[in-house]
Structure 1
């Protein structure tokens, strides 16, 4: 049993790692050469829209994949859902690496890229829907907090890794125009690496990971299957609503840190150079690897619900104050900016060290994978439009203040959503 437990937990960690590695490939590796897939002489507005679609379509595919593979995980097993989804995004990532450019097949090149990223998002959404419930179900009750924090720590580990890989590619294949080595070959290598990693993970699940004993004992031998509608009604339906409210708040705060902070605040407000920006983010994400695990351990000790109830107001006060300083105070030195970014990131993203365990504990075995996948992914949609909310708020307040308001709002919504549910750390599966 101990060997099965370790294999399931390691599989979930690497599933999160490879999931995040593939999701951030276009942002880090492909964004400098998106012109390879597009016609020349586009306006800045059109270029921005085309660039955003490459990332957004992946996010839109994730809730679809979470629902589809969640049902697969609840009906035929967590392990098989993981094998199918990992194999899927491995093949799709490899196909992206082989795509021809605009000069070869015209606008079809860009359309294929967007379509493949949407399909990639579906498979990536299924990657954690099977793997994480499998790992949490194998975990001992008193270790579930650590396991959840350790699994989600795969996200910052992947971010650091892909940036280091990208830096190496820029050195080996210089980027200096449409005919440069990076434009034609350099960007493809990280995608091939992502595909190989996915293939290795699929083989790991095939040969090393066993199906959840809890799922087999409760669901695997049952002749009738639980319909998806059971997730939407009764106690499971109320649990899902509570999780969606809580997660909407914490996704809003997360987006401020993972998207607004690097793309707007640090680069446009604080005018950091590319090297300064990359260094700041690499340091902060390295710190997050350990803070996620620490948050999981704290949640295990004091309770998941209590953790969320405390950290929500902390985000809305201390986190918001730090963000205000970064966005509005001039003359900050680089070391001070790095320190504030690290502290802000640890505070605002700490709920994620507890979230994986908590959501799995909120659902019974019959609908656990589907409930986790839908609750985790569907809640990202409304917060994803944070830039529109900032634009609307700028009509009544300075734009630099709008992310602070959203951070406060997200922290309080996350707290309220958590208080709507019970404590779960002593739940038996």
Structure 2
């Protein structure tokens, strides 16, 4: 049975739902939270080995050969659904605008299981910038802007609560442009930088006479994790038009148009349910959101050329934009020195690196969208931040969860000495 292009979405759901339903079978009747967590973790790791395109191209027999014997239950229907012919895989990639088919299968399964890209998702009234603005309002007295972190020094005395970390870096003085070295000492640090920035920070054990000389180095698994987690490039181009002509001429209210052009998708930003645009404002914004090679293409151009190229391509779909366009701007995340990539987009087997970073090293905790199961989303950043904060709280308050953290640390000590 081969999927037709017109039914690629339905056929995709039928195929991937076999894998999702397997998890429900494995968890059926299991009450213990620890056992359920272990089953879920092994299921995620098992299916993370497959890229989406590789999975769709495989036969049922080839899939079964690559997974543990006890995780082969409930997969009989794959024999009817796999393999997909090359034309069907290409049709799905184009029709769904899924440019990263070589990404780990679990990246796609989570979207279905989490009801992403559906009305179940929510946004912040007035725009997502309201989130950092709220933090800024409460914490502005404690935020040190313009501080570039270059090194984090940690120590390992026997008394866990008296460990210290020192964050070192530099800041450019506004008065004369001179670079000034600075350091901040604390009992713990939660590192929330993008992975590409994390790679550039040195982690060193304290070595002075007054400190513990037996503090181990960071395990190689840490460096392996931050080296392997792949960050996808992405570019976003915003184009302001004199009027929202797509609403009046095409009755387009929100959503997006899929194309086979480098612009990929043309988005029509809207805020359904919120009357946030005063009626006197006639202008509107079209949005181009690109990934992978298309993102590199636009990001490599000057802002002026990128905007002009986007207008030319959109004109093939909406000729009115040539007369309607006023001005535009581009954001290419991999060109931003503070980002150097848009978000984590996991390749096969990389989910194990994310799981490793979910535990602290000494009093260094890691968070950020990449170190979550909602990588690429603000939700992932929030979840990981809460997790890291709770881990620190559990350890300082000697809560039951702190025992598992200490056990994990002992294992990592052994790894670092190998």
The alignment's TM-score, normalised by the length of structure 1, stands at: 0.26
The structure that is helix-richer by fraction is: 1
* RCO higher in structure (CA 8 A, sep ≥6): 1
TM-score, L = length of structure 2: 0.27
